[in-house]
Amino acid sequence: MPKGKKQLHFLITAGGTREYIDPVRFISNASSGKMGYALADAAIKAGHKVVLISASDLQPPVGADFVGVETTEQMFEAVKKFFPKCDCLIMAAAVSDYTPAKSSKTKIKKGKRALTLKLKPTPDILEWAGKKNIKYQKSNIKNKILVGFALEDKNLKANAEKKMKDKNLDLIVANTPSSIGEEVTSAYIKTPSKPWQKFSSVSKESLANKIISIINRKL
């Protein structure tokens, strides 16, 4: 840690969660977890402590305190455990929006009839963190920096700004589905008081370094 700089505690989530239909089948998404891991690595190299909560199979960065999860509920429980002691939460994980209303304890056998799957919403982890942060502020407890990601295929900036406001975020990163699984990405970054910054065809490592740099200045 460079002289004069404070070591911060980052809580970072990564990867796409799995919502099990039965013991061998699940609902998930195409997220690789690369962005979350790049953020963890950038924070560690900047001299900070990192708890990485991940649903990805990637190798964790050296120096990260790794917490492996699979489901949204497991990720939520892990975030609730580590949130009080963090200075910054970065929700880079692609958390499933829905989970089976009821999962089978045994493998569902294939039949000739159509199978109807009933889904229910999963907990909104970032919304929970935003509300928790407001309570901290009202109680004069040091609040956290909250960072979210918005993956949108239309009305990118408008939807991202709405998410930032609705969930009480300090920074949001907006990009399109074309960034999923890629080494190079394009994205927009915004804080509530400043205009959008655009980053075109940059590595996820470079984007992660920029995000960590912005957070360092805010803290």
For the annotated catalytic residues, the residue numbers are: 29
Rounded-to-integer distance, Cα 177 and Cα 180, Å? 6
Q: What's the number of CA atoms in the CB half-sphere (13 Å) around residue 28?
A: 17
Beta bridge partners of 89: 11, 146
Radius of gyration of the chain (CA): 18
Cα separations in angstroms, 175 against 62, 104, 156, 188, 213: 27, 35, 7, 6, 19
Pairing of strands 145-151, 88-91: parallel
Alpha-helix residue ranges (DSSP H) falling in the chain: 34-45, 72-82, 125-138, 156-166, 204-218
Pairing of strands 98-100, 119-121: antiparallel
Rounded-to-integer distance, Cα 41 and Cα 39, Å? 5
